Amino acid sequence: MSRGSACLAAAVVGAALLTACTTVDAPPPPPSAGAGVADAAPPSVDPSVLPSVDRGGGAMRLADGLAPPTNRWFSGLVFGDAAQPVFPLPLAVGLTASGFAYGLPTVRADGSVLSGSYAPQVQMDLREPVTGVVVAYDAATVTVDLVAGDETVRGRLHLTRGSPVLTYTATTDQDLGLGVAFSAGAAGLPDDVVTAELDERTHALVGAGDLDVADALAGTSLALTAGQTVSWLVAPDPGEGPDGLAELVEATRDPVTGSEVHHETSPEEATTSVTYATVSGGPAVVVRWPHQQQTADAAESCARGTYATVRGTAEVCLTSTLSWRSPVREPAPGLDLSGLDDDERDALADQVRTDAAAVLGDVRPADTYFGGKALARDANLWTLAVELGLDGVAADLHESVAADLRTWAQPDGCVERPERCFTWEPTLRTVVGQATSFGSEEGNDHHFHYGYFLYAAGVAAADDPDLVRDLAPVLDLLAADVAAVSDVPVPDGPPMPGLRVLDVVMGHSWASGQAPFADGNNQESASEAVSAWHGLALWADARVGAGLDDGGLTEQARWMLALEAASARAYWTDFDTSDPATDGLEASVTSLVWDGKRERATWFSAEPSAALGIVVLPVTGVSGYLGEDPDRVRANLGEALGTDDLWEDRSTWDVMFGDQLLMYAAMLGPADAEAALEVARDLPDERIDDGSTRSWLLAWLRAHAG
């Protein structure tokens, strides 16, 4: 079904701030346009070069013409038999059979789990069955129509990512049931605002424009006419703001209508800005997250109170634009081996010859995850061979990697063979490897998988323009699938969504394509997400080196790399353990991050080392971001290995991801890198990850030992 609005402004590169309607109180839905990143035009792509294979994506609660929002924080609203709760945060929201509900999650620590699950506190009843249909979305807002059985839209729910405000517009005359009693007369608030005290927290119900909510309220029933808008604001813990809750209530009268993203990078930092449009142009009530602490105007705009969340303590701000800075991570193919002496180079060269013989004598996997990892592994091995002057070995490795990349990048490959090729999935508007893995046919983990391909191509084709041109039609599609800056028009249907996996507000990606979970979406291997944008940057550089127009991809990739690395530290490996919101959490690493919880756990193993290893791998030249707090590195390793003395017993490292953890330990400094070298030489072969080699392990450690 398709719903339109006569009040939408024109889009800029697929998304723009909205021009407010001045004749009604209702905020219009924003256009669906990916992340709404302005002033960018990525390389053009054509999915029709791939064979189309419909894998049965299932019914979607989504308006016609919109890009299917896989890998979003709100994907659970769209996919699956029934809508899942979603977490705009700090609120959690759920659709019901006859309306919607919200609650402010109570954050609790239980061992290695920090939970803040959905628990409805206020339920709104339309008094008839309705189905929620997503009709618009952008970087920070989602609009859901509540559709009755006769196809009439009864109301419109508007969610804003990172806001304690929930907005609803009646599209027919109605008496909306509130579920709990609200009343006027709260101290310090205007008479037309009603409140309820729930769990020792004030919930304010505010009308937009000149709507007097107190006058429209009769018991637990709110009389609304078509076009009228109300918003619920859950009060924060007290802050330092001059007017407290009253100031936030006044801002809530001016509902958010949409958002837009801008970014820019310098050699030192990347700046991200999310601008919130409101009906009347006033500031929005939003929160500042731990990864956004480098905020330009925090002193002026924030300090309006706080919320305890599973991400840590979030500070309330009144602002139209929230901007923050993240350290830039410059792409780094290969390793610097200039510090090795002749004996060390000879020993490493012997290992490279051994590993090259092994990988060249084997067949790489046929699925996109393990196949991509193997290509990235062998591209790294090639860089070592080049650096060590092993011309014959280097030539054989490059020929092998290039040949496999060309096989994967053959547009009609899936017409000729059953694997090592890509197809176009027309329902989800996504690219899928013919041999699937980890639910890739549902949109799962595409940035992990395709990041390895982009990395391998960016490394192997850096000085090979012919290889770049041969790979570009399909490699550009892989890049667009996970990172197109705005919606990509596709013939015969909706577009590919822009920034499919990146949650710009939270600064990190989401791995589940359809998020069929009550705790929202999730991402486990934040380090593989960082690796994906590292690969994107290297591929962008290779394209430029081959004389191809990158359309801003070079800068965009560095922005995404900076953003993801900062959030990986803020929520996975280096979060503030002294934050009161995490009080009681018995984990130094939370390896599985959801909107409704964070936990030290993995999807695949209960081994303690797995929880750290999965957020370290793959170790590449850009992985230094993980080692910027040596004390935390040591604490994380102690937790993963179950010891405070890392080097007392070499068998300590005979664990899953032992090689990755040794490389992580080398970030502690030269002495620890030397100790890691002693262990690494005898580490059992089965402890070398399939995305790495002993050569890479030893080279990394030797480079860090000095």
Give tens-digit pLDDT for 123-138.
999 999 999 999 999 9
Is 533:560 a contact under the CB 8 Å cutoff?
Answer: yes
Q: For 321, which DSSP code?
A: E
Count of residues making up the chain: 706
Give backbone dihedrals phi and psi of 323, rounded to 5 degrees, phi first. -120, 145
Half-sphere exposure of 161 (CA within 13 A, CB side): 24
Q: Residue with structure tokens 């330092």? A: 240
**Which tens digit of pLDDT belongs to each residue from 569-594?**
999 999 999 999 999 999 999 999 99
Token representation of residue 400: 């092998």
Write out the residue limits of the CATH 2.70.98 domain(s) in the chain. Answer: 88-327
Residue 14 reports pLDDT greater than 50: no
- C-alpha 542/C-alpha 46 separation (Å) is 20
Name the 3-class secondary structure at 669. coil
In this structure, what are the phi and psi dihedrals at residue 475, rounded to the nearest 5 degrees?
-65, -35
Say whether 111 sits in a helix, a strand or coil. Answer: coil
Among 295-299, 329-333, 336-340, 476-480, the minimum mean pLDDT is found in 295-299
Nearest to 616 by CA among 562, 582, 666: 666
The whole-angstrom separation of Cα 287 and Cα 455 is: 35
Give all strands (DSSP E) within 541-619, no chain letters.
Answer: 592-594, 597-599
Q: Is 296 helix (H, G, I), strand (E, B) or coil?
A: coil
The DSSP call for residue 167 is: E
Q: Strands, E, within 279-338: which ranges? A: 284-288, 306-309, 312-319, 321-327
Indicate the Cα dihedral angle 338, 340, 342, 344, nearest 10°.
-140
Under DSSP, the state recorded for 52 is B
538: nearest Cα among 395, 330, 368, 692: 330
pLDDT at 684: 97
Q: Is-contact 318 301, C-beta < 8 A?
A: yes
Averaged pLDDT score across all residues of the chain: 92
Residue in 537, 580, 526, 589 with CA at minimum distance from that of residue 559: 537
| CATH architecture label of 88-327 | Distorted Sandwich (2.70)
Alpha helices in 198-324 (DSSP H): 213-216, 244-252, 298-301
pLDDT score recorded for residue 492: 87
The confidence band for 551, taking pLDDT boundaries of 50, 70 and 90, is confident
* Banded pLDDT at 38 (limits 50, 70, 90): very low
What does the alpha-carbon distance between residue 645 and residue 575 come to, in Å, rounded to a whole number? 23
Query: How far is residue 212's CA from residue 193's CA, in Å, rounded to a whole number?
Result: 7
7 band by pLDDT with thresholds 50, 70 and 90 = very low
Q: Under the phi-then-psi rule, with left for phi > 0, alpha for psi from -120 to 50, and beta for the rest, what region is 650?
A: alpha
SS3 581: helix
**CA distances, 305 to each of 128, 138, 161, 286, 315 (Å):** 38, 27, 18, 11, 6
- Locus of tokens 């791998």: 617
User: Residue 706's pLDDT is what?
Assistant: 82
| Terminal C-alpha separation, the chain | 63
Torsion of CA 575, 581, 587, 592, to 10 degrees: -70
pLDDT of res. 298: 64
Bridge partners of residue 143, in order along the sequence: 136, 158
Structure tokens at 215: 């006058």
Q: What is the pLDDT of residue 666?
A: 98
Closest CA to 636 of 678, 594, 577, 574: 574
d(CA 229, CA 395): 67
Q: Kindly report, residue by residue over 374-384, the tens digit of the pLDDT.
A: 999 999 999 99
Residue with tokens 């979406």: 521
Q: Say whether 274 sits in a helix, a strand or coil.
A: strand
Q: What is the C-alpha separation between 97 and 465, in angstroms, rounded?
A: 57
Determine contact, residues 276/262, Cβ cutoff 8 Å.
no
Radius of gyration of the chain from its Cα atoms, rounded to whole angstroms = 26
| Contact of 103 with 181, CB cutoff 8 Å | no
Cis check: omega of the bond before 331, within 30 degrees of 0: no
Q: Dihedrals φ, ψ of 49, to 5°?
A: -70, -15
Residue with token string 């127009």: 549
Q: Under a CB-based contact definition with an 8 Å cutoff, are residues 528 and 660 in contact?
A: no
> Token pair for residue 231?
């918003």
pLDDT at 22 over 50: no
Nearest CA-CA partner of 53 in 306, 325, 418: 418
pLDDT at 242 over 50: no
Residue 117 DSSP class: -
Dihedral of alpha carbons 176, 182, 183, 185, sign: negative
Q: What pLDDT, on the 0 to 100 scale, is given for residue 126?
A: 98
Q: Span 483-503, mean pLDDT?
A: 92
Side-chain-side CA neighbours of residue 204 (13 Å): 29
Which of 209 and 345 is assigned the larger pLDDT?
345
Six-digit token string for 535: 């690969």
List pLDDT tens digits, range 520-541: 999 999 999 999 999 999 999 9
What gap in Å lies between CA 142 and CA 158, rounded to an integer? 6
d(CA 437, CA 444): 9
3-state secondary structure of 412: coil
Q: Closest by alpha carbon to 363, among 416, 399, 404?
A: 404
The partner residues of 176 in beta bridges, in order of sequence, read 222
Q: Per-residue pLDDT for 34 more than 60?
A: no
Confidence of residue 294 (pLDDT cuts 50, 70, 90): confident
